[in-house]
A and B are shown apart, each in its own frame.
Chain A
Amino acid sequence: MELTRRDAAAALAALGASGGVALGARVAADRGRDAGGDSGGDGTGDDAPADDETVRETLTAVAAVVYPDDATGVEEFVDGFLDGRLDGSAHAAGVREAVAELNRLARSWHGGAVADLDPAVRDRHLREVGADIADEDPDGTTAERVRYYVVNELLLAFYASPTGGELVGIENPQGHPGGAESYRRGPR
């Protein structure tokens, strides 16, 4: 099943460029919490937020693990989607920080950045971080932030796109403005 630019554009159209983001941060601020999270977490200072290139490589590598095996065109899809999401927003900052942290842990536990790991090791790394069992939370623990900004960022883009939806049997998934006709049609 081929993901296309149209899917990336659709995912973006569904979620908006700066995402839950600005809003996520705003709500946190409203509640008097530290909106940006504690950037990096361990205070060692060597986890500067990831640059565009690293975010793209890392998310594409994680997508290879969290997307179904026969999804193709993943790199273009992730690229196209990130074109809209990596703006100057608080959400983009959250993504950069979570990616930096995920890579830092990968280097320390597995000797290489996420994108350089073997897919099976990458999968294991995500689980060791705890992103599989964590509930997403933009202001939470490392596991919760990796789940929010990395794993669910990718899953949201995928399953809100027509191609991702169609794999499940819904070509007009929630979040995708796929018109007011598909609900009337019977199964093909």
Chain B
Amino acid sequence: MSAGDGPAGSAGNAAAVDRTPVADADVCVVGAGPAGALVADRLAGDREVVILDAGPRFDPADRLARQERAIRPSYGRPDVWDVGGARDAYENAGSTEWDYPLNHARVKGVGGSTLHWQGMVMRLHEDDFNSGAERGAGPDWPIDYADLRPYYAEAERELGVAGASDNPYAPPREEPHPMPAFEPSHSDSLFAEACEAVGIDMHSVPNARNSEAYDGRSACVGYGTCQPVCPSGAKYDATVHVERAEDAGATVIDRAPVERLDHDGDDRVTAAVYATPDGETHRQEADAFVVAAGGVETPRLLLLSASDRYPDGLANASGAVGRFFMDHLFAGAGGTLDEPTRQNHVGFYTSACDQFYDEADETQAPFKLEFFNYAGPSPVESALTGDDWGDPLLERLRGEYGNHVAMGALVEQLPDADSRITLADDRTDDRGNPIPEIDWTVGDRALDTIERANEIQVEVLEELGADVEWVAGPDATGPAYHHMGTTRMSDDPDRGVVDADCRTHDLENCWIASSSVFPTSGAMNPTLTIAALALRVGDDVAGWLGDRT
């Protein structure tokens, strides 16, 4: 076994790796997902940068084996990237009707949750930054689309985004995407006729996935298992930037969960206290700290860092740490046609519809529609379950596969102070630290909008001539695994955890790079915005360090 040790791999092997702190570090980044990796890459070379990640460094040679796990029924999704167990324990608050499956929604390790993600990457719309003013719902962000626009363009280059400029509803951009969009699928062409008949515009969708060779990584080769693993590396994941940061001199310490941030009397963070597999605890000191541990572990770490001076947790003078937990809600519908639809060749979608997005107001949330290329069962997965084989199995597979169609949608939920992450009272993780407790609630605006999305989906499917077999409405909705809002951004220190630069109001040398800073969530998948903010954090940290020297 080599670098790909599982989280509880052999201690002997773990001992071979030096996990001691780096002397004279300028910057300590907590978390090696895309947010932390982009900040680190931005600063490495000019600065001494250390990245600490709770999870392991996965061996790229294991990716096919992880793909096998993704296909074989005896493994659950969390098993694909070794999520779960005492390290990742969490609980849902008993009272809520909204259980949150956290360990399906994240990966711990170098690359973070992008190892598992689907890689759909859109910019937020201009109104998403001014939801209060423009839609009468939720707070405005202290920054505008214009502030982020150059960073969006840069993030698209960094991740490698395949896209086109055929979307009339997308926010303004001055340059094309770095790669051409993936061509529409066969099923897109079927949908196109139906959409035209009912007056719905289809357009391409940006993918963080190579439509041609890019940045030393191959073009997509069609493994079709993008979520949860791309064996070819055509799908972007944050190992790209972690490796680049390391090449520029950054140090990555894996399997090093940060348990606490220490501070001094001058409101500065002094050290990240982390554990290593040998049972030791270390202190990584640095001038600046960037917390990039994802939307659940970031507030958890701040809460775990409570001190006499900050009894409610670090950076929590506003009381907002952990509050306003949001995700995007899924709405969907699907059925079958009487002709082949050619699904499950690839694991991503190629067409979407943002036409209804900016209709949003106080009562209707922004939402976007997606046209799937992976509706219905995948024959190889189906073949491994059931009590048939030989000709009867083949007959069953032929009957199941071939003519499914489906549409999805993502819907914004509004921030609600009672939807929150706290520390569990009486349960701890493998290191004896209180686990996160999730109390997720979703309001009526989102639920009503799910119904609206369903209406449109059913209309399109019926126009297509489909037998509509399922509708995922308000009762069957679930989260899209985008953790947002838990350390919200605000100019007002009483109302938010970080300022417009994503620096904590309370601690001068601590930034947060994460969707946890989103004051509202829009309905676009968050990671391109996370990446843009991370690059901006990198610049701000560089400026702050520069001013000091």
Contacts and interface: CB of A to CB of B under 8 A. Distances in A.
Interface in A135-150: 135-138, 148
A150 B388 CA distance: 14
B480 interface: no
B68 A15 contact: yes
Interface string A56-71: 0000000001111100
A173 interface: yes
Interface in B171-188: 182-186
Interface in A7-56: 14-16, 18-24, 26-27, 29-31
A174 B65 contact: no
A187 B345 contact: no
Interface in A150-177: 151-152, 155-156, 158-160, 165, 167-170, 172-177
Nearest to B379: A168
A30 B186 contact: no
B387 A20 contact: no
Given A69-B391, A175-B224, A183-B185, A169 B380 contact: no
Given A21-B65, A168-B401, A179-B221, A65 B185 contact: no
A184 B225 contact: no
Nearest to A157: B380
Contacts of B6: 26-27, 29-30
A15 B71 CA distance: 10
A11 B378 CA distance: 16
A121 interface: no
A169 B397 CA distance: 9
Contacts of B79: 27
Given A16-B65, A168-B398, A169-B340, A183 B222 contact: yes
Contacts of B219: 180
Contacts of B381: 174
A145 to B, nearest CB: 10
B356 to A, nearest CB: 26
B342 interface: yes
A72 interface: no
B72 A20 contact: yes
B67 interface: yes
Contacts of A175: 67-68, 71, 223-225, 380
B186 A186 contact: yes
Given A156-B384, A173-B344, A23 B398 contact: no
B3 interface: no
A152 B378 CA distance: 15
A138 B182 CA distance: 38
A19 B184 contact: no
Contact of A23 (B65, B183, B211, B373): B65
B222 A152 contact: no
A177 B378 contact: no
Interface string B70-93: 011111000100100100000000
Nearest to A70: B391
Given A14-B67, A22-B65, A160-B71, A68 B390 contact: yes
Contact of A135 (B339, B385, B388, B390): B385
B394 A68 contact: yes
A48 to B, nearest CB: 25
Given A68-B394, A183-B373, A184-B184, A132 B387 contact: yes
B402 interface: yes
Given A30-B85, A169-B398, A173-B380, A184 B185 contact: yes
Given A148-B74, A155-B384, A185-B186, A169 B391 contact: no
B369 to A, nearest CB: 19
Interface in A56-102: 65-69
B184 A14 contact: no
B346 interface: yes
Nearest to B183: A184
Given A30-B82, A160-B380, A179 B222 contact: yes
B522 to A, nearest CB: 28
Given A175-B67, A179-B222, A187-B340, A159 B85 contact: no
Nearest to A155: B383
Contacts of A151: 389
Interface string B1-22: 1000011110000000000000
Interface of A: 14-16, 18-24, 26-27, 29-31, 65-69, 123, 132-133, 135-138, 148, 151-152, 155-156, 158-160, 165, 167-170, 172-187
15 contacts: A15-B64, A15-B68, A16-B64, A19-B65, A23-B65, A26-B9, A29-B6, A30-B8, A132-B387, A138-B74, A156-B72, A168-B402, A172-B222, A182-B222, A183-B342
Given A23-B65, A132-B389, 17 more contacts: A16-B68, A20-B68, A20-B69, A23-B62, A31-B8, A136-B72, A167-B398, A168-B379, A169-B398, A172-B224, A175-B71, A177-B221, A179-B222, A180-B346, A182-B222, A183-B186, A183-B342
